[in-house]
Structure 1
Amino acid sequence: MVNKELVGGVRTVCDVVETALGPFGANKLLIQADGTVTATASSTELLDRLDVDDPAVTLLDSAAAGFDEQYGDGTGSVVTLAGALLRRADRLAERGLHPTAIERGYRDGLAIALDAVDHTARPLSSVDPADVARTALTGTRNPQVRRSVSTQVAAAVADAGDDASERIRVVSRTGGAAAETNLVSGVVLERGPVLESMARSRSETGIALLSSTVDMPHAGSQLGRVSRRVEFEADSFADREALAEHESGTFTEQLRAAVDAGCGVVITERAINERVQSELAAAGIVGINRVDADELRRLARATDATVVPTLAQVTAETLGRGSVDVNRKAGRDMTFVTSDAGDSVRTLFCRAPDPRTAGAFERSVEAAVASTAAAVGEGRVVPGGGAAEATASWRVAQEARSLPGREQLAADAFGAALMAVPRALAATAGLDAGRAAVQLRVARSEGRDSVGIDALAGTTTDVLGDLPIVEPVSLKRNVLTTATDLAVQLIRIDQRLDATDLGDEEETEPTADAPDPGPA
């Protein structure tokens, strides 16, 4: 039997996520233990901020987080479908089906559904990659913004090719409107120079990328293997003064050598010590510190630079080439690095009026990038708006009748559960979910597999019309497979065990005086 108590929390979370699906998903107020209140309609953020210790919910959270990290979109659909499968499993268990029989039926239903998804796929050439981006761009309902941003996402993905995840990054900043979102050919750093007196712009200059702190070298310090250690003790003021002059002179030489090599910008993963900041500024160098390692790699790729440990290793060969411009956005400096020296690296710089909107819009644009990249990589799409799920549900209902034994009931339940996604989209769009589901089934009976839910228009329609609603085939297949695997894993839980309680009883060694038990 399915243990309802153990997976009860999971069903509750799934029900909450279901009402947040689609562009009109309801916002949730998350109140954390420290009093922080967050309003969000993002399934990913909702699951990420849940503070629970229920092991089954933790399993759901981990699966959803892993899916989002790997595919970038579709997390809400995974959780919604998993919840629907669990509800159907409860009813099957009440009718006497064992979890093993339920799993077999679900696996049979999944195979039929995946085949249906493949058969309903269209070539990407029948639509535009921007249509895929616009479908995933649920963070705004403004048609002009959706059109503009989706076009920029498609352009960025087309330029990046198969390496879109590495070469495209989304950055958001509060202040301004979403319509101000623009595609930057380069890298955008969410910080400015370490000193206000440093230059705000350097055109076509050498860019040094460092992995360690920029500071004056200490006497006796060296890189690589240390074959001999020398200790220097400065006991007098004169000795300390001489040591400081030596260190300062060494740094000045390193700085001069870097400038002579063409260095105009120093960007480091660590800090730039206060005592050398003014020297960098006096030399005309723009210094930017505490840049994330991933951003440093993107900068190296864009500028054709080599990341080196310290300023001493900077040469003309390790320097990248590019232009640096520092602009103040919403009261904070942001640095734009553009270059034609290396690979084409793009940044989508998003704007939004408040932090909640900015975060939601950024996640939406990231999902649009991931979905568009997947569609371009595979070259196929399926009708969106729950149309693919409705077609798969119809096919499973037709073919489940031919399955043997009680698995037929489970496969039929699997097909019915697939309608949870179009039902949720219809409900959040303000439609009658039951009536919408009937309309989708009637369309399938008439051979129209592209009829789905257009949430923005508030109707059921052919989603391959003037403004196509489409999703990548690979994403849809992975949503169905992941949701099924997760539901089956939860269905097969029959008992909760605390691992710390399993080894309490110590095994006793037989004593020398103990009688020999003899042969068995």
Structure 2
Amino acid sequence: MACMVNEELVTGVRTVCDVVETALGPFGANKLLIQRDGTVTATASSTELLDRFDVSDPAVTLLDTAASDFHDAYGDGTGTVVTLVGALLREADRLAERGLHPTAIERGFREGLDIALDAVDGAAHPLSAYEPDDVARTALTATRNPAVRRSVSAQVADAVAEAGPEARDRVQVVSRTGGATAETDLVSGVVIERGPVLESMPRSQHGTGIAVLSSTVDVPHAGSQLGRVSRRVTLDADSFEDREALRERESEAFDERLAAAVDAGCGVVITERAINERVESALAAAGILGVHRVDADVVDRVARATGATVVPTLEQVSAATLGTGDVDVRRKAGRDMTFVTSDAGEPTHTLFCRAPDPRTVRAFERSVEAAIAATAAATRDGRVVPGGGAIEATAARAVDRAARSLSGRQQLAADGFGNALLSVPRALAATAGVDAGQAEVRLRVARTEGRDAVGIDVLAGTTADVLGESPVVEPASLKAAVLTTAAEAAIQLIRIDERLDATDLGDEEEIEPETESADADADAEAARDGAP
């Protein structure tokens, strides 16, 4: 009897995969997510769908973790990973019904994966034959406006070119509701979505020292100490005079620290925590521009861009810890924002995105982040493959041909892996309004004729050479990572045969107290009967 894939365990996974599959590509269907608190979100972003799912099923948790880890590592391609996992599970069901054991399915899938990876490698083209803009435009699925796609993809390519292969860390994406996506602007430097804490503070500081702090800017408290405490002192100030003297001493101590920071060249203070109200005026009087409650990742970005060292408090600020650069407060999208530019540290850029409504702006921001990640990956690897499902169709053809040389059950499983690869062009065709069955036939025929660049032209709504006038290309390294991650996740799910609660694996059941008491009474009675 065949060992079937555990239906109960993977049903939830299949549901998630089916939902994500229909959201693939620029024409992916929107989903209405209704959360427990009543919040309603409309999105076609695969990443946002997975982020907002209220997951409790352990198998779905495995899939969600794999997809999240992939997104954190690569920034693009998460939807394709989930789509392929769903297709591989469907193939595993079909194979199990034909009598294949999960071990045989795993071996065939791994064989198919190796063949598919070789096909991706063989179909790769040098990036120099195309443009980084083409990679960015392919990943920019949140807009179908040709002019916007050209403009934004060009800005993404410029940002990646200046920031280098590590552009995901060096290019910030800031989005704001209001305006049109065509108003997206590439800014040199870091954008902080806050203005000065006090209106009387300067709005521009050029060529000045920039202090980057991780904690609150406030007057020091008597007895406060950084680092290991070797002695604890209790100070009682009961009278008004004592409390006033203590307050004056704390204020004098802060003035001394502030004067030392100014003497070191500090003109700007940017902190992750708050700038207390009682010291705002002192900073303004000293000519310092202060910005507080800045996100930790932005604080880190400012430090890397300006060459600053992040220190805990104003007391640790010195000429050695200060960064240098220009800081300007500008009005953008109806609010003050602080722009930090510098040549002292790493090249840093910000893409400032606009969109007419909250749903659109979030989707556009995610799409721009994916475009940055894809372009950076292509720049690192220097190779691209045809998009629009073309590379999956080519890999499926290679698996189909190679599987014929395999024996028995392994051949069936490898062939199933190849069939699963075609789920990507089928999904793209379906969301673009193209007959998925006819599109698959055309892709197969094109491969037999040696036309491996034929894929789904989603915007045109047909099958076509995707390397033509407006190339649709994806990073070869990213595509290989997608196939590998999807295969590993599917195999992990296929190999599960039972769900066990960890609480059931504890110590052996303890003897009931009543039983212990009854046994003790019986022993006592037996002893009395046997007594002389």
Aligned mate of 1:217, from 220, 228, 235: 220
Match of 2:197 in 1: 194
Match of 1:472 in 2: 475
Matched, 1:179 2:212: no
Aligned mate of 1:313, from 316, 328, 352: 316
Query: What amino acid sits opposite 1:37 in the alignment?
Result: V
SS in 2 for 1:233: coil
SS in 2 for 1:323: strand
| 1:265 CA drift (Å) | 1.0
Aligned mate of 1:267, from 244, 256, 270: 270
Distance 2:96 2:159 in 1: 49
Distance 2:7 2:239 in 1: 77
Matched, 1:208 2:211: yes
SS in 1 for 2:385: strand
Aligned mate of 1:338, from 328, 337, 341: 341
CA contact (8 A) 1:175 1:329 kept: no
Match of 2:39 in 1: 36
Match of 1:518 in 2: none
SS in 2 for 1:53: coil
In structure 1, list runs of 5 or more residues that go unmatched.
514-520
Distance 2:334 2:44 in 1: 27
Match of 1:248 in 2: 251
CA contact (8 A) 1:305 1:318 kept: yes
| 1:374 CA drift (Å) | 0.7
| 1:508 CA drift (Å) | 6.9
SS in 2 for 1:162: coil
Distance 1:146 1:112 in 2: 34
Matched, 1:104 2:102: no
Percent identical: 77
CA contact (8 A) 1:120 1:388 kept: yes
Distance 1:103 1:227 in 2: 60
Distance 2:34 2:295 in 1: 30
Aligned mate of 2:57, from 54, 57, 67: 54
Match of 1:375 in 2: 378
Distance 1:105 1:476 in 2: 20
Greater shift after overlay, 109-118 or 323-332?
Answer: 323-332
Cα distance, 1:259–1:78 mapped onto 2, change above 3 Å: same
Matched, 1:497 2:504: no
Greater shift after overlay, 285-294 or 472-481?
Answer: 285-294
Larger Rg: 2
Deviations 1:67-120 (A, max 9, x none): 111110101001111101111111111111111111111111111111111110
Aligned mate of 1:165, from 163, 168, 186: 168
SS in 1 for 2:164: helix
Matched, 1:234 2:244: no
| 1:387 CA drift (Å) | 0.5
Deviations 1:317-375 (A, max 9, x none): 32211111222333332211111222211111111111111110111111111111111
Match of 2:284 in 1: 281
Deviations 1:463-509 (A, max 9, x none): 11111100011111111111111111111222222221233642679
Query: What amino acid sits opposite 2:335 in the alignment?
Result: R
Distance 1:231 1:94 in 2: 76
Deviations 1:16-53 (A, max 9, x none): 11100000000000001111000000011101111131
Distance 2:160 2:358 in 1: 26
Distance 2:102 2:85 in 1: 15
Distance 1:482 1:414 in 2: 14
Distance 2:27 2:146 in 1: 14
Give TM-score, length-normalised by structure 2.
0.93
Matched, 1:322 2:325: yes
Matched, 1:83 2:86: yes
Aligned mate of 1:430, from 433, 440, 450: 433
